[in-house]
Amino acid sequence: MERYDVAIIGAGMSGIAAGIRLAHFGKKVCIFERHYASGGLNSFYAKDGRKYDVGLHAMTNFTGPGDRRAPLNRIIRQLRISREDLKLCEQRGSRVAFPGANLRFNNEFAYFESEIASVFPKQIDGFRKLVEAIRSFDDNEFNYAYRSAREMVRTCVSDPVLEDMIFCPLMYYGSSTEEDMDFGQFVIMFKSIFFEGFARPLEGIRNIIRLLLKRYRESGGIRKMNTGVAKIVTVANQVDRLILDSGEEVQADVVLSSAGLPETYALCSPQPKLEKPVSAGRLAFAETISIFKDQPKSFGWGDDTIVFFNARERFSYREASDLVDLTSGVICIPNNFQFGDEQMAEGVVRLTCLSNYDKWKSYGESEYAEQKELWRPRIWSAAKKFMPATGLGYDGACIAHDMFTPTTVERYTWRKQGAIYGAPQKSKDGTTPISNLFICGTDQGFLGIVGSMLSGIAMANTHALR
């Protein structure tokens, strides 16, 4: 039976980052991935000859090289990759759009602060107090106690509209819990979006995945694709061996799983004894991707990179009661990053809304396809209200489109209920009741592209290198 120092379940961002770190330090490490493609929730695919990013709207946490402690710089250093090779281009500018109020922001925090002073002049002192609390929170500590972020924010900000406008982007880009979030997670997301900011490579996620895989290969890491882990067999609370989908068996001193917390426990045989049962997340999304022959600038949508919109009096972040909740969402226009002289060949508009896994799952194949066709224009109409008026006739101008639902996410990543941000319950220090089985990525609690890579690095350092 083949034996490794470390076996990693999943070739998503966290799994590959962990693998690079371990291989670099001479560990015999193998990543087992069930899909034929790497990248997990942030992969890419081809349809009708066109390449689509699965997830990428923007990479959060964009910072210059100066701040050594910034997450992006820690990743660059720990993975020994070059900033130039990431080819990151900054956003043009983004917006939180609510009925009657817009808050603009870019990668300079002072600009966001000035927007708050101008749109909510009575709240600026409270907002600055909140910023102080965020700055003084130690988010490098894994096991901080739960504290309601809503309650904490309300001690500083008394206007519920401003409160909701702050929460809307942070929840859409990184909350696995409905309506409220852990203050620690709030701090991580606030810093990653408002203190730091958005960037992406012109080529999209392909550039980053290629770079990471090259680094992993060069460090001597082994990667087995189309090779799912079917079972984690434990003896006396220790992983004894992994049984692969093919029936083959392998052994490892340490197992790092990025498959998710409930998903990993479901693989264990026998089932681990848990103090509290871990349930799969209920927050799932539907997304439409529309391709246009022309740049969005040509139809008046050239300024906004990402718009977080909400049409209700109070913003509600919870599982949709219908197939899609049209009252809030995210509009992402990948063309509107500062690519310099270059530009994407076609216009792309991505629209994301909260969705309902059970409802999509209840349909048979043809009804499912019909429902997608029904909801696509509805999502477009809901989002369009928050964009500059345009003479653009969508059906005439859109030359290609695709749409995914929570069932698509589940089908290609095996993430239960298609919950992109995983289970509400996290394993912040990565430990499980099995002594040599650890969690990395989404369900360790660090989300997004940068967050999951940081998680992979931190869990590899803590549980397999020290």
Q: Under the rule (CB under 6 A), what is the footprint of ligand FAD? A: 9-15, 32-35, 40-42, 54-60, 228-229, 258-259, 263, 267, 287, 409, 413-415, 420, 441-442, 447-449, 452
Task: Tell me how far, at minimum, the Cβ of 229 lies from ligand FAD, in Å.
Answer: 4
Please answer whether residues 144 and 181 qualify as being in contact, where contact means their C-beta atoms are separated by less than 8 angstroms. no
Task: Tell me how far, at minimum, the Cβ of 198 lies from ligand FAD, in Å.
Answer: 8
Task: Tell me how far, at minimum, the Cβ of 125 lies from ligand FAD, in Å.
Answer: 32
Task: Tell me how far, at minimum, the Cβ of 257 lies from ligand FAD, in Å.
Answer: 8
Task: Tell me how far, at minimum, the Cβ of 51 lies from ligand FAD, in Å.
Answer: 15
Comparison of 60 and 425: residue with beta carbon closer to ligand FAD? 60
Task: Tell me how far, at minimum, the Cβ of 228 lies from ligand FAD, in Å.
Answer: 4
> Residue 335 — φ and ψ, nearest 5°?
-65, -25
Task: Tell me how far, at minimum, the Cβ of 167 lies from ligand FAD, in Å.
Answer: 18
Task: Tell me how far, at minimum, the Cβ of 57 lies from ligand FAD, in Å.
Answer: 3
Helix axes 13-24, 448-460, angle to 10 degrees: 40
Comparison of 149 and 189: residue with beta carbon closer to ligand FAD? 189
Comparison of 27 and 223: residue with beta carbon closer to ligand FAD? 223
Comparison of 72 and 134: residue with beta carbon closer to ligand FAD? 72
Cβ neighbours for 331, distance < 8 A, ≥ 6 positions apart: 304, 306, 307, 309, 349, 350, 351, 383, 386, 387
What's the one-letter identity of residue 366? S
Task: Tell me how far, at minimum, the Cβ of 390 lies from ligand FAD, in Å.
Answer: 24
Comparison of 154 and 401: residue with beta carbon closer to ligand FAD? 401
Please answer whether residues 197 and 90 qualify as being in contact, where contact means their C-beta atoms are separated by less than 8 angstroms. yes
Comparison of 116 and 255: residue with beta carbon closer to ligand FAD? 255
What is d(CA 353, CA 326) in angstroms, rounded to the nearest whole number? 7
Comparison of 185 and 258: residue with beta carbon closer to ligand FAD? 258
Comparison of 10 and 126: residue with beta carbon closer to ligand FAD? 10
Please answer whether residues 90 and 107 qualify as being in contact, where contact means their C-beta atoms are separated by less than 8 angstroms. yes
Question: In DSSP terms, which residues pair with 352 in a beta bridge?
Answer: 287, 330
> Residue 39 — φ and ψ, nearest 5°?
115, -25
Comparison of 292 and 337: residue with beta carbon closer to ligand FAD? 337
Comparison of 58 and 116: residue with beta carbon closer to ligand FAD? 58
Task: Tell me how far, at minimum, the Cβ of 443 lies from ligand FAD, in Å.
Answer: 7
Comparison of 310 and 442: residue with beta carbon closer to ligand FAD? 442
Task: Tell me how far, at minimum, the Cβ of 140 lies from ligand FAD, in Å.
Answer: 19
